[in-house]
Amino acid sequence: MVKLSVIVPFYNVRQYASDTLKSLRANAREDFEFILVDDCSRDETPDILARAERELPGAVYVRHEENGGLATARNTGIDTARGEYLTFLDGDDWLAPGYYPRLLAAIEELGCDFVRTDHVQCTARARTIQRVPHGRRGEVMDPRQAILPAERTTSVDYPYTWAGVYHRRLVDRGLLHFTDGLRTAEDRPWIWRLHREAKSFAVVGLLGVFYRRGVAGSLTQIGDVRQLDFIRAFDQVIEETAADPEADRLLPKAVRTYCAIIAHHLSEIDKFEPSVARQLRTMSAAAIKRLPQELLTDVLDTMDLNRSSRLRRLRRRVPAAKAAS
């Protein structure tokens, strides 16, 4: 019986894949499987993974014939997985030796639907510990209660898929899959759905995932049109939260987060190609128009001046943006 399935998407990461696979080997156990999903890489990544399938205990290699993006690759891994528990890793990140056995022991002891963990962020040679924004550790709780308060950073603002482990019953309930085809922000609807609909979760102070930031080929470093998928992702968050029985309580948080993300992208608009920058302004203005306007006004009245001013200007150009579309 497979106890833990580890889903690892890869795309054009030949310079990092060997380190990732080496760290998986240092976490191997006879009841673990490692599902290596190549999302139609164009470099030597497939050769590295084909070799790993022969050499890494528990490795299962799956290759996409077309590039589908991170969400689609993770879904392939979920559909392939046989484990009682599932977790994720990205193909350019790595693990501390023996981390997965400790992570598995934590969720088995707690007996909850999912467990969230801290991680180490790695930018060049710098190392920074990033904590789950939730103060109570090692205690099983209702994940819905960790969404609020709206004005503070909470668990839904820590969407890292690989910073945790998840019981198979979440797959059976349709809660673990991602929105197919999302190229960025794919973890935002995912983390909101988990916190709205799962029954139990816990946070543990367990470090072992090393998250590589600033990778040249990473989508977050590339100002192309795929970045605009954040709008589709947050539209989904708003739509699904609006349908929740506690929408009145939860929607202010969703709207505030959406506004903050729009403001963030606008503050970095110079990194986008000119045509994409124009689309960003137009699509963001339309997104602002779709939000519940009373809630939007409340959010803008309580945000800091820089972000609220930027969003108010965007709100004023909504009619022109609508005409342009």
3-state secondary structure 68-98: CCHHHHHHHHHHHCCCCEEEECCCCCEECCC
Give the mean pLDDT of 287-312: 96
Given a cut of 50, is residue 320 above it in pLDDT?
A: no
CA 187 to chain centre: 3
Structure-token match 């602002």, residue found: 288
Measured CA to CA, the distance from residue 240 to residue 165 in angstroms comes to: 24
Given a cut of 80, is residue 233 above it in pLDDT?
A: yes
Query: If pLDDT is split at 50, 70 and 90, which confidence band does 37 have?
Result: very high
- Torsion 266-267-272-273 (CA) sign: positive
Q: What contacts 268, CB < 8 A, 6 or more positions away?
A: none
What pLDDT does 220 receive? 53
Measured CA to CA, the distance from residue 16 to residue 12 in angstroms comes to: 9
Q: What is the mean pLDDT of the chain?
A: 94
What pLDDT does 322 receive? 46
Q: What contacts 300, CB < 8 A, 6 or more positions away?
A: 259, 308, 311, 312, 315
Give the mean pLDDT of 194-221: 86
* 21-60 core/surface letters (b: 16 or more CB in 10 A; e: else): bebbbebbeeebbbbbbbbebeeebbebbeebeeebebbb
- Torsion 150-153-154-157 (CA) sign: positive
- CA distances, 311 to each of 82, 262, 263, 303 (Å): 46, 8, 7, 10
Query: What's the chain's length in residues?
Result: 325
pLDDT digit string, tens, across residues 99-137: 999 999 999 999 999 999 999 999 999 999 999 999 999
Give the mean pLDDT of 228-247: 98
* Beta strands, E only, 145-295: 164-167, 201-204, 209-213
What pLDDT does 143 receive? 98
∠ Cα 23 25 30 (to 5°): 140
Domains assigned to the chain: 4-216 (3.90.550.10), 223-324 (no CATH)
Peptide bond into 149 cis (omega under 30): yes
Give the mean pLDDT of 154-165: 98
Give the mean pLDDT of 193-215: 95
- CA distances, 183 to each of 50, 222, 225, 237, 268 (Å): 25, 12, 10, 16, 18
